[in-house]
Amino acid sequence: MPRLELCGALLGARLCNKVTQSLRLKVTCKFWCDSTIVLGWLQMPVHRLKPFVRNRVNEINEITAGYDWSYVASLDNPADLVSRGVKADLISACGLWWSGPNYLQNPPSTWPSKPNERRDLPEVAEDANLTSMQRYRRVQALKQHFWKRFAHEYISLLQEKNKWPSGDGLLPDKPLVLIRDKTAPPLLWPLGRIMKTYPGVDGVSRVADIKTKKGTLRRGFNNICVLPLDF
């Protein structure tokens, strides 16, 4: 229901905008709504609202910028007469339907106002106030997700290779590699980048210096695996 009421408020704002653009007179507009939820949304920072509500509140705020939104009680709302099933013959003689609430005939300073005090508004995204521990756990979860994807898509293929580098000893320029560690499962093998290779007397490189986050290591080509991707 609040979403429908919000759509009604948007329809009213669009209608007002269409009419005022057609007039050659400068008019001041006043908007009324009997939904405290909609009024609460209109007063809230839009970044806290969920997409459906946020998009419509944005449009309403753009159309009605500079105008006021106020609360009208359901008993004073002419639109509610039809929704309550008032018969047509009674509508024709109803002053509320034709002229609105009686207080509109008085100065605006005397009009009733009801500030929105609701704190339990729906369609509001929760504040992301994360503790340090929660952030740490999220980072760890992302790392685990990355490694699981990596293991599923690449490690099984790399383990099947008898000789990881090509037989000619040629490598791409400073490739990213996995360093084989017999004491750890492949998922935990360290990453590194080849910085320098050492050709043998036959001109074929079989050893390389590899830069890792813990320092530079020298390993034979039979203990490194060139990754099929780079960063």
Query: 174: Cβ–Cβ under 8 A, 6 or more apart, which residues?
Result: 193, 194, 195
Cα 74–chain centre separation? 35
Residue 113 to residues 38, 44, 98, 101, 174: CA-CA distances in angstroms? 15, 18, 22, 13, 71
Per-residue pLDDT of the chain in tens (231 residues, 90 and over written 9): 889 999 999 999 999 999 998 988 888 898 988 888 888 888 888 888 888 998 999 999 999 988 888 888 888 888 888 777 777 778 877 888 888 888 888 888 888 776 655 566 777 766 555 567 777 788 888 887 777 776 666 655 555 554 444 444 556 678 888 888 888 887 788 889 999 988 888 888 889 899 998 899 998 888 888 887 665
Residue 57, Cβ density class (10 Å: 0-12 exposed, 13-18 middle, ≥19 buried): buried
Half-sphere exposure (Cβ direction) of 193: Cα atoms closer than 13 Å: 8
- Which residues does 204 contact at the CB level (< 8 Å), separation at least 6? 168, 169
Both tokens of residue 125? 């995204």
pLDDT for residue 164:
46
pLDDT score recorded for residue 73: 84
Q: pTM score, two decimals?
A: 0.49
Please tell me the distance from the alpha carbon of residue 188 to that of residue 222, in angstroms, as a whole number: 18
The C-alpha atoms of residue 110 and residue 96 are separated, in whole angstroms, by: 18
pLDDT of residue 167: 47
Distances, alpha carbon 70 to alpha carbons 1, 6, 67, 226, in Å: 19, 14, 10, 67
Token pair listed for 28: 């001041």
* pLDDT score at 56: 92
CATH of 132-226, one of 3.40.50.720, 1.25.50.10, 2.170.16.10, 2.30.30.140: 2.30.30.140
Domain extent listing, the chain: 2-73, 132-226
pLDDT at 143: 81
